[in-house]
Amino acid sequence: MSKRAPVNKNDYIEDAYFEDLTHDGNGVTKIDGYPLFVPNALPGERGKVKVVKASKNYGFGKLIEIHEESQYRQEPPCPIYHQCGGCQVQHISYEGQLKAKEKHVRDVMARIGKLPEVPVHPALGMEEPWRYRNKAAVPVGEREGGLVAGFYQQRSHEIIDMDRCIIQHEKNDEIIQKVKEICQKYGIRPYNEEKHRGTLRHIMTRYGYQTGEVMVVLVTRTADLPNQNQIVEEIVSSIEGVKSVIQNVNTKRTNVIMGDQTKVLWGEEVIYDFIGDVKFAISARSFYQVNPDQTKVLYEKALEYADLSGDENVIDAYCGIGTISLFLAQKAKKVYGVEIVPQAIEDAKKNAELNGFTNTEFEAGPAEAVIPRWYEEGIKADVLVVDPPRKGCDEALLNTILEMKPRKVVYVSCNPATLARDLRVLEDGGYKTLEVQPVDMFPQTMHVECVAQLVLR
Ligand code: SAH
């Protein structure tokens, strides 16, 4: 049975045809059915490829020259696009990106969900697919004795300095530059990953698009921050809108950005922002969607799919700080939210209070344990919303849904593959998927968010 790869490393393919794009943005060409993944190549293009790796079942190639160009190819606007790796599809026009995302969703619905007929709408994109991020977290390092902050060179841990990231809000660029200068001026030692020495590991910022409020987080290796008072004073006086300066201490040798200890150096513990009419308090550690404009589009679609009249009990599983829950609470009789991180549930309760909602209840715990218990206690949802992490819904939760039989299920997903898998389970258990709406929360990357509407047959 076992066949050898039809190509070897360092072979050239003189005129390869690219037929597809992978979910991580590589072009795909096939040699007698054997897939070769080629970064920077686009579907519909032809070109010369050098094989750089040939495993048994698939290989990787390098695009040497393009013979026939896709109508969607464009010059990447960012000068450091190829070095950075934060974006994967700046070489595709925005129209092409949206088409590719829609196709990806359609493909997995057919292949994994066995739902070739399900309506997948064109992806809802942004008018201006740049400068959309409200949060930046940049690693700090040392170069020629100076403090630099930017990004890790692809496949390495070397930090390249960066003064501009065009998917970030301008304000975040400004903040990072200022904080960098201030820390340099007061002699803060950048963190050295290899030796696990130095002080400043990451600079993190959050910007409230609707409120203009700014949070600055200094992630340090040690609790001690030399010249702390001067640094804080200068951050506050030189950056407009600062409401919160936070220090987070991360003493560990780890890739994880934040440590366990968080203290307020100046101002508030949180900043505020709005999505639609709902106000949210956002702390340094809480999960909050990074693209506020598209978050509104996503949540409005979820609300539309929930189709509430005001009489419904709604369960919001994987609720985070209660963002979707509170959106739903505007139209539902009662919303029950469940989330595994206790701090997020504290935030959700505060956010409900902040907005004057009295029809919400939140509980911390695994959705797959809490919702079955609620069901036993007689709490039954008419509409159930899920928004799980990339791995999708727990099987126990899907089983509970099939027992509880809510009239409608709204599935918000950041991973089309696990969405398709879970839709198949729900379909087999008696639900029908009416439609799937991809929403582009992350332009210039291959990530795609979806909302699906299901009804009980
Ligand atoms: N709906 C929120 C958060 C979605 S992110 C929003 O739109 O902002 C997914 C959330 O699921 C995270 O907050 C994560 O902490 C939570 N989570 C992960 N596993 C979980 C589980 N087993 N039960 C409940 N929540 C879980």
Tell me the per-residue pLDDT of 279-300, one tens digit each, with 9 for 90 and over. Answer: 999 999 888 999 999 999 999 9
User: Is 242 a residue whose pLDDT tops 80?
Assistant: yes
User: Is 2 a residue whose pLDDT tops 60?
Assistant: no
For the CA of 316, the nearest atom of ligand 1: 1
* Shared fold status for 12-68 and 135-275: yes
Structure tokens at 379: 């709490």
> CA-to-CA distance for 14 and 12, rounded, in angstroms?
6
pTM of this structure: 0.94
Encode pLDDT of 102-150 as tens digits.
999 999 999 999 999 999 999 999 999 999 999 999 999 998 878 999 9
Task: With residue 137 as reference, give the H or E element that holds it.
Answer: strand 135-143
Catalytic site includes residue 414: yes
Domain residues of the chain, as ranges? 12-68, 102-127+291-456, 135-275
Tell me: is residue 128 an annotated ligand-binding position. no
> CA-to-CA distance for 406 and 315, rounded, in angstroms?
10
Quote the strand ranges of 22-128, DSSP E.
Answer: 26-31, 34-39, 46-54, 59-68
For the CA of 394, the nearest atom of ligand 1: 22
User: Is 1 a residue whose pLDDT tops 70?
Assistant: no
Percent of the chain with pLDDT over 90: 93
**Mean pLDDT on 186-215:** 96
Tell me: is residue 289 an annotated ligand-binding position. yes
At the topology level, CATH places domain 12-68 in OB fold (Dihydrolipoamide Acetyltransferase, E2P) (2.40.50)
Cα(174) to centroid(ligand 1), Å: 31
User: What's CA 133's distance to the chain center, in Å?
Assistant: 10
CATH number of the 102-127+291-456 domain? 3.40.50.150
Calculate the average pLDDT of the chain. 95
Tell me: is residue 339 an annotated ligand-binding position. yes
Q: For every residue of 300-345, which 3-state class applies, written as one string?
A: HHHHHHHCCCCCCEEEEECCCCCHHHHHHHCCCCEEEEEECCHHHH
> CA-to-CA distance for 361 and 319, rounded, in angstroms?
11
* Ligand 1 proximal residues by C-beta, below 6 Å: 287, 289, 318-320, 323-324, 338-341, 344, 366-368, 387-389, 394
- Please list, in sequence order, all residues whose beta carbon lies within 8 angstroms of the beta carbon of residue 255, skipping any fewer than 6 positions away: none
For ligand 1, pick from 318, 319, 410, 451 the residue to mutate: most ligand atoms within 8 Å of CB: 318
> CA-to-CA distance for 244 and 406, rounded, in angstroms?
42
User: Is 370 a residue whose pLDDT tops 80?
Assistant: yes
Encode pLDDT of 30-85 as tens digits.
999 999 999 999 999 999 999 999 999 999 999 999 999 999 999 999 999 988 88
Find, among 154, 176, 173, 175, the residue nearest to 164 by Cα. Answer: 173
**Model pLDDT, residue 9:** 96
**Model pLDDT, residue 287:** 86
Radius of gyration of the chain (CA): 24
Which CATH architecture describes the domain 135-275?
Answer: Beta Barrel (2.40)
